[in-house]
């Protein structure tokens, strides 16, 4: 479930988020967080290096798929159609 917060930028360029946001991430004073800034999504804050690296790997994989997919193919629609067919097959076995 996604939650939204209204941070503000301090005079020295610091980003302040409400305590609820930090609690949701499971971090507190002195903890390190990882920030990803890009032109598509804006900014994302990750509570651990593991989450940050996983998000980067997924983005790289999506970019790879977009570059190498055949023209006119919608991978998401193809996957959903395949999954529906698999579900139908599974149901027919029982």
pTM here is: 0.55
Q: Kindly report, residue by residue over 34-73, the tens digit of the pLDDT.
A: 988 888 778 888 988 998 899 889 989 888 888 888 888 8
DSSP H or E run through 8: strand 8-9
Instruction: Tell me the Ramachandran region of residue 42: left when phi exceeds 0, alpha when psi lies from -120 to 50, beta otherwise.
Output: left
Instruction: Give a three-class secondary structure readout of 27-89.
Output: CCCCCCCEEEEECCCEEEEECCHHHHHHHHHHHHHHHHHHHHCCCCCCHHHHHHHHHHHHHHH
């Amino acid at each position: 479930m996604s939650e939204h917060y209204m941070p503000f930028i301090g005079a020295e360029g610091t980003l302040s988020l409400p305590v609820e946001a930090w609690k949701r991430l499971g971090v507190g004073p002195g903890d390190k967080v990882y920030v990803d800034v890009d032109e598509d999504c804006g900014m994302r804050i990750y509570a651990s290096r593991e989450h940050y690296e996983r998000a980067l790997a997924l983005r790289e994989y999506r970019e790879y798929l977009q570059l190498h997919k055949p023209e006119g193919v919608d991978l998401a629609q193809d996957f959903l159609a395949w999954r529906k067919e698999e579900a139908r097959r599974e149901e027919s076995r029982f």
